Amino acid sequence: MEIINWGDFEKIELRVGTIIQVEDFPEARKPAYKLTIDFGSFGLKKSSVQITSLYKKEELVGKQIVGVINFQPKQIGPFVSECLTTGFADESGNVVLTEPERKVPNGSKMF
């Protein structure tokens, strides 16, 4: 593990957003969804996430998540992912989304 300083951490824009649309991503190598996430004043951003084993599309709409919004866009097959949706692997390796414990305004910064 590399140790970073506080200035390095401050560069990361960890923001809260609400998932407003979920689509299948059949072209992905591993099962995935394409999300559209509302980050408030930072706008709508798209993200590819491999969470199909734990989450159904209909339960994701309206859910708040934590995302990194200042990475360079990443080409994933025919899709451009504009942010990183964060999560943790459970004991089976499935991704569990990072969510705020209570509803907060979209675009709120994690600190």
pLDDT on residue 100: 97
The strand ranges marked E within the chain are 14-24, 33-38, 44-49, 64-68, 74-76, 79-81, 84-85, 87-89, 95-97
Give the pTM. 0.95
Query: How many CB atoms neighbour CB 25 within 10 A?
Result: 21
For tokens 């084993």, name the residue: 53
Domain 6-97 in this protein, CATH class = mainly beta
Q: Which residues neighbour 11 within 8 Å (Cβ) at sequence distance 6 or greater? A: 70
Question: Where are the chain's structural domains?
Answer: 6-97
Q: What is the mean pLDDT of each run of 10 residues along the chain (111 residues)?
A: 94 97 96 98 98 97 98 96 98 97 97 85
**What is the C-alpha to C-alpha distance for residues 22 and 47, in angstroms, rounded to an integer?**
10
CB 95 within 8 A of CB 3: no
What pLDDT score was predicted for residue 111?
Answer: 85
Tokens representing 38?
A: 């509302």
